Amino acid sequence: MNILGVQLLLLGFALFMVYILYLHWRKHEASNLMFVGWIVVWTIFVFFAMFPRTLEPLIKDLFIVRVMDLGTIVAFMILAYLTIENNIRIKKYEDQVEKLVRKVALKNRSGGK
- Binding residues (CB under 8 A) for another protein: these are 94, 97-98, 101-102, 104-106, 108-113
CB of residue 28 to another protein, shortest distance in Å: 26
Tell me the HSE value of 43 on the side-chain side, using a 13 A CA sphere.
Answer: 6
User: By three-state DSSP, how is residue 66 classified?
Assistant: coil
For another protein, the closer of residues 33 and 105 by Cβ is 105
CB of residue 97 to another protein, shortest distance in Å: 7
Residue 108 DSSP label: T
How many other C-beta atoms lie within 10 A of the C-beta of residue 50? 11
For another protein, the closer of residues 89 and 102 by Cβ is 102
Sign of CA dihedral 80, 83, 84, 85: positive
For another protein, the closer of residues 66 and 89 by Cβ is 89
CB of residue 89 to another protein, shortest distance in Å: 16
